[in-house]
Structure 1
Amino acid sequence: MRIALSVLFLSTQLATTVALAQTAAEREACQADYQKFCKGVLPGGGHVIKCLADHMSELTPECQKVVKANTPG
């Protein structure tokens, strides 16, 4: 039961935040793209930003700006 609740909590948290962006505006700009291209990617270690960057040409223009601003370069 404890594991099921933990999984449910984690799933809820991942569904409601992008976890890559620092501001609410950045999260909002990439939320749909995250759900579409990177839903199974767990946050941490730059995994989400890398996933989004791998789909750069498919992202919305707003999310492309966020990814470029958060990608070391």
Structure 2
Amino acid sequence: MRIALSVLFLATQMATTAALAQTASEREACEADYKKFCSGVQQGGGRVIKCLSDHMSELTPECQKVVKANTPG
């Protein structure tokens, strides 16, 4: 039982670390664009991605990739 819990804990930690790394890289790619175009937008509910997508042609190529990857449809 103790080994099973340890394995489950390690698997959870690895999955969380991968998710945080992706989020951090996405934030880094769009940080300057966010500050320039969307700093007044309240975070949550997809509002930041919506704001960035409204400025798609003005975004850096790296941030455009992030926005496209996180925009439904």
TM-score (norm 2): 0.69
Structure 2: runs of 5+ lacking an equivalent = 1-21
Match of 1:44 in 2: 44
How many residues are matched? 52
Alignment of 1:1-73 (within 5 A): 23-73=23-73
- Cα deviation, 1:2-40, whole Å, max 9, x if unaligned, reads xxxxxxxxxxxxxxxxxxxx5111000000000000000
Q: Which amino acid aligns with 1:60?
A: T
Structure 1: runs of 5+ lacking an equivalent = 1-21
Give the aligned CA root-mean-square deviation in angstroms.
0.8
Q: Distance in 1 between matches of 2:41 and 2:48?
A: 6
SS in 2 for 1:52: helix
Q: Which consecutive aligned stretches of 4+ in structure 1 deviate over 3 angstroms post-superposition?
A: none
- Which structure is larger by alpha-carbon Rg, 1 or 2? 2
Q: Distance in 2 between matches of 1:59 and 1:23?
A: 18
Q: Distance in 2 between matches of 1:41 and 1:23?
A: 18
Q: Which has the higher helix share?
A: 2
Q: Distance in 2 between matches of 1:32 and 1:66?
A: 13
